[in-house]
């Protein structure tokens, strides 16, 4: 099953979406900032993804910093969620 969804942007570029288990939302890798190995089942994006956002109830700020390599997401130690320091398989999109 695919782990990545390719989405067209208005300017002719693309974003590649993955589901983040920790954030319970998608993260978008823009084709102008990240490289993608074009493998939709075992994707690799470089460099790392750093996402900062508020929880939906505005209770706290979330930091999610990860590498996506060979279909796995490695959450770095500066994450503020419970998966910090863990590596998980990417979810199907």
Total structural domains in the chain?
Answer: 1
Mean pLDDT on 8-14 = 92
Q: What residues make up the domain containing 73?
A: 5-89
- 31-47 pLDDT per residue, tens: 889 999 999 999 999 99
Mean pLDDT on 61-89 = 97
What pLDDT was estimated at residue 54?
77
Give DSSP secondary structure letters for the chain.
Answer: --S-EEEE-TTS-EEEEEEETTTTEEEEEETTT-EE-S-SSS--EEEEEEEEEE-TTSS-EEEEEEEEETTEEEE-TT--STTTT-EEEPPP-
For residue 78, name the pLDDT band (cuts at 50, 70, 90): very high
């Amino acid at each position: 099953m695919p782990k990545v969804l390719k989405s067209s942007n208005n300017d002719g570029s693309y974003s590649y979406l993955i589901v983040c288990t920790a954030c319970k939302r998608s993260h978008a890798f823009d084709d102008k900032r990240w490289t993608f190995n074009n493998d939709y089942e075992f994707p690799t994006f470089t460099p790392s993804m750093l996402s900062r956002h508020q929880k939906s109830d505005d209770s706290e700020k979330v930091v999610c910093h990860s590498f996506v390599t060979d279909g796995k997401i490695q959450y770095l130690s500066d994450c503020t969620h419970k998966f910090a320091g863990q590596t998980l398989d990417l979810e199907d999109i």
